[in-house]
């Protein structure tokens, strides 16, 4: 007889975990969190998980407590004799620290992988890692899903593909944008940007023909939105008809909502890997819940998930 599936959630991702559980077809399992007056907390599974497949759903966006809660829950599952412990991390935080860009700095993404493995995780599921090589930081299987699975369907349903150009806000996203362009059989444009300091673009140029085209910028993360808004403005200055964006993880820090609202971007399509801090008429949210629910089910039954990968 197959062992049971138990779905648990970190507090910060409960809004998404509930949708994943609904798509999966069973409720979230019982859990509580004991909070001490000094700020410490202790998660507890309020039902037996011995010999079960335990899926713990938690994105690790700031603050750091979200990561710590996930680690504590993994440790609790290990000590409660779960058969397999899968960390479902829709947004893998600290992924932008995937290499040393100057002396005396950490490689944060590698440290996160080490912490998860030390806690006892046996598998990781995530979406649109900032750098593909982060999969190699783990010695356990990593299921790396792509937002393109959702975005491509949305573009086909809502856009005139014959007039579409895929674009990237910076050269680092060229591979991602090129994959979209190939999937849709459309042209590619690239924004080349130079930074003097983090979150501040000094100069930007456009490579490619966007005259009279509907441009869609693709990226994995939108933080303050400065790069995206400047890229959209550049596309329009080069004759683009409209500019939209498909970006998986909506960090939307600082003045991001204000920047998007005041920009000439027609629409920002994103997902619910991170909760929106406020409503925005220009933002369309596609849920990753059905995709993760299906992949969880297939992983539990040892079925192939390759059909869920677009790129």
State the Rg of the chain over Cα. Answer: 20
Token pair recorded at residue 149 = 């699975």
For residue 240, give the nearest of 191, 284, 282, 196 by alpha carbon: 191
Pairing of strands 84-89, 53-57: parallel
Q: Which of 19, 102, 110, 193 is catalytic?
A: 193
Residue 200 class from Cβ within 10 Å (0-12 exposed, 13-18 middle, 19+ buried)? exposed
Task: Give yes or no: 213 in active site.
Answer: no
Burial 150-170 (b: 16+ CB within 10 A, else e): bbbeebeeebeeeebbbbbbb
For residue 143, give the nearest of 301, 255, 304 by alpha carbon: 304
Number of Cβ within 10 Å of residue 101's Cβ equals 9
Strand partners, 43: 33
What residues act catalytically?
Answer: 193
């Amino acid at each position: 007889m197959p062992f049971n599936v138990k779905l648990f959630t970190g507090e910060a991702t409960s809004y998404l975990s509930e949708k994943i559980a609904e798509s999966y077809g069973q409720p979230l399992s019982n859990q509580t969190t004991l909070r001490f007056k000094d700020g410490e907390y202790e998660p507890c599974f309020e039902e037996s998980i011995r010999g079960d497949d335990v899926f713990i759903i938690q994105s690790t966006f700031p603050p750091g407590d979200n990561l710590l809660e996930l680690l504590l829950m993994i440790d609790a599952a290990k000590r409660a004799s779960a058969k397999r412990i899968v960390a479902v991390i829709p947004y893998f935080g600290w992924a932008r620290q995937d290499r040393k860009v100057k002396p005396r700095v950490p490689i944060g993404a590698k440290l996160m992988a080490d912490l998860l493995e030390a806690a006892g995780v046996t598998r990781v599921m995530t979406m649109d890692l900032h750098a593909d090589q982060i999969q190699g930081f783990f010695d356990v299987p990593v299921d790396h899903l792509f937002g393109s699975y959702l975005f491509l369907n949305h573009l086909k349903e809502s856009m005139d593909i014959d007039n579409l150009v895929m674009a990237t806000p910076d050269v680092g996203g060229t591979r991602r944008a090129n994959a979209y362009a190939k999937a849709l059989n459309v042209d590619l444009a690239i924004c080349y940007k130079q930074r003097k300091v983090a979150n501040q673009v000094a100069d930007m140029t456009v490579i490619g023909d966007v005259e009279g085209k509907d441009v869609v910028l693709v990226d994995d993360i939108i933080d303050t939105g400065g790069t995206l808004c400047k890229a959209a403005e550049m596309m329009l200055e080069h004759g683009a008809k409209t500019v939209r964006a498909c970006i998986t993880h909506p960090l939307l820090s600082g003045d991001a909502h204000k920047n998007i609202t005041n920009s000439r971007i027609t629409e920002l399509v994103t997902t619910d890997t991170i909760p929106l801090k406020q409503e925005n008429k220009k933002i369309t949210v596609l849920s990753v819940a059905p995709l993760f629910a299906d992949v969880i089910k297939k992983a539990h039954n040892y079925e192939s998930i390759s059909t869920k990968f677009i790129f």
